[in-house]
A = this chain, B = another copy of it.
Amino acid sequence: MTKAPLPSWADTAARRRILDFVARVTHPGGRDYVPPADRVAVFDNDGTLWVEHPLYTQGMFAMDRAKSMAASHPELAATPAYQAMMRQDLPALAACGKQAVVELLLQLHAHATEESFAVEVRTWLAEARHPRFERLYTALAYQPMRELLAYLSANDFRNFIVTAGGIDFVRAFCEEVYGVPRERVIGSSNKTELKLNGRRAEIRKLAELQSFDEYAAKPVNIALHIGRRPIVAFGNSDGDMAMLQYADSGPGRRLVMLLRHDDEEREYAYDRDTHVGRLDVALATAAERGWTVVSMKEDWLKVFKEKAR
């Protein structure tokens, strides 16, 4: 006998909706059957696949980088985001907004090559620890979501991550942590250029933002990278709403989900009143359209994988 799927999910309506949806779309000859080519699922990352409080992980990374690069980047010193970083003032930094943090990070990493940037991110992720949980950030991927990714994958879905975080930041760990190949990450990006370093052709990051992958940019970038409308979409904030609407409004059966952070004890509780992962309009829309709202508190038996002893 194979193990029951989604073991970290409580036996509630949310889990049953997922199982029912997958059974229907994979049942050959059934009226909801979807051929494997069309089984595309999209997931937001921050707050959907891993912890985003007190600040997006990439913000924490940027803060550490900013400290070490202050001397060489005096032109950044005047920006509010940079100053908040230097003061380690998380609320102030969060108040600057995700785009300001992403743009600052682009500035900090202009001229990095794709390879050198990946090494930098991996080195940081191997050491930096979350201030509350005191664990590596990659250990704060949600166990129920890792199980969901694996379950969909086993049912011939192709999972994509669609994040407002940097595309190459997430690509530095997506394979090990989520089992999602790098080419299935869509995210915010800066412009890059091809440079010849002797005979070696390298991709170098430029300081200019190319796409800030939130709100309507998510479906726009899904169309660019995937070229097919997803049938499963999972988010947790207003920034994901356009992506959820886009997945929802295709023909046939759809599974659209929102994760609600209502578990102060095991993780965090926030919705309308937060600078990080604000959930307001999307929650009202979910009620109106019958999207599944997953309660971290009620629907998950476990939030994180246990610490190795």
Contacts from A to B (Cβ < 8 Å): 37, 114, 158, 160, 167-168, 171, 175, 181-185, 189, 192-194, 196, 199-203, 210, 216, 219-220, 223-229, 242, 245-246, 248-249
Contacts and interface: CB of A to CB of B under 8 A. Distances in A.
How many copies make up the complex?
2
B200 A249 contact: yes
28 contacts: A114-B227, A158-B181, A158-B183, A160-B183, A167-B227, A171-B227, A182-B226, A182-B227, A182-B228, A183-B228, A189-B224, A192-B220, A192-B223, A192-B224, A193-B220, A194-B216, A194-B220, A194-B242, A199-B245, A199-B249, A200-B249, A201-B219, A201-B245, A201-B249, A202-B249, A203-B220, A203-B223, A203-B246
Given A182-B227, A183-B228, A192-B220, 6 more contacts: A158-B181, A183-B183, A183-B184, A185-B227, A189-B224, A193-B216
A160 B227 CA distance: 14
Contact of A227 (B183, B200, B226, B228): B183
A228 B183 CA distance: 8
Contacts of A210: 224
A198 to B, nearest CB: 9
